[in-house]
Amino acid sequence: MNQEFDRASAAHDSEASLYLDLISQLNEYLELKRPSLDDLVHFLTVRTLQPWNAERVFISRIDRDGVFRDFSFFGFPIDDASQWKEVHITDRVPMADAARSASIVIADEERLVAVYKSLVKFHEQWVGRVIVDVPIIKGGVSIGVMGIVFIGKIPSDESFLPFLRSVATCIVFAMDDTRRKIALRRTLGPKSELTDRQKNILEMMAQGLTNAVMASRLGFSESLIRQETVKIFRNLNVNNRHEASAIYQEQSKLSLDS
């Protein structure tokens, strides 16, 4: 009996040490790199959550109208991401339930089929996988959600879910940092006026369309779309699609308000 207790105690200590080490690594990465949310979800997938076979990760914020916006994701098909942009906090899907209840929602294959009827058509994607949606909370209010897809079962120990909450707390720093950068760039404004073609590309970019789709719709080559995308980033003083799309959305809101 004592040997079993000792083994269980040692395993618990080892798990606790792993959780603390991973949170420490994540905080260090955030402080030193100050990454974009796109880079952060990649880090979370391949480093922070990889010990438990994390396959896909997304981060999204909740806008004032209750709609999930500014998705950053790794491992998900582009087609999936385009559907998320229509999700509202009142919808019956895992990410909305997590945000609404401010609690972690765990949905394995069986629960997805039983509870989330709208996701049944994606049943084949989730065979042998578990979806975990963690609310990102600031000031006691859900401001976004971190969604994770794990291959296989997740740990049953009592420290795993608090660990995921700690990860979500770290994300608040990155979201705040991203908003500050976007606000500064919006204040500074573009270096020069975007061309009509660049404005069209930026609008499509904000819709989550790929270069191939944009090229097809506009009648240009993908190479030209890439070149124009680089010019847009340089003009807006941003590093990636996520930041450019956020500026477009903010400018659209200002236009509507005025």
Tell which wins on pLDDT, 224 or 186.
Answer: 224
Looking at per-residue pLDDT, the higher value among 214 and 85 belongs to 214
pLDDT digits over 71-118, tens only? 888 988 766 666 666 789 999 999 999 999 999 999 988 888 888 877
The helix-helix angle for 241-257 and 196-206 (nearest 10°) equals: 100
Q: Which residues pair with 61 in a beta bridge?
A: 69, 144
Closest by Cα among 56, 10, 23 to 171: 23
Q: What is the CATH number of domain 2-184?
A: 3.30.450.40
Q: What are the E-state strand segments in the chain?
A: 54-62, 68-74, 105-108, 129-138, 141-151
What are the start-end ranges of the E strands in 43-169?
54-62, 68-74, 105-108, 129-138, 141-151
pLDDT digits (tens, 9 = 90+) for 18-27: 999 999 999 9
Domain limits of the chain?
2-184, 189-257
Contact 166, 209 (CB under 8 A): no
Q: Sign (positive/negative) of CA torsion 73, 116, 104, 127?
A: negative
Q: Sign (positive/negative) of CA torsion 177, 182, 187, 192?
A: positive
* 189-257 is classed CATH 3.40.640.10: no
The closest alpha carbon to 35, from 244, 254, 255, 239, belongs to 239
**Cα torsion 186, 214, 39, 44: sign:** positive
Q: What would the pLDDT profile of 123-155 be if each residue is shown by its tens digit?
A: 677 788 999 999 999 999 999 999 999 999 999
CA 205 from centre of chain: 17
- Given a contact cutoff of 8 angstroms between Cβ atoms, the answer to whether 232 and 201 are in contact is yes
**Equal fold, 2-184 vs 189-257:** no
Structure tokens at 81: 């991401």
CA 251, 256, 257: angle at the middle one, nearest 5? 95
Q: Of 11, 74, 77, which is closest to residue 48 (Cα–Cα)? A: 74
3-class SS at 203?
A: helix
Structure confidence at residue 206 as a pLDDT band (50, 70, 90): confident
* Residue entry with tokens 């229509």: 86
* CA 172/CA 214 separation, integer angstroms: 32
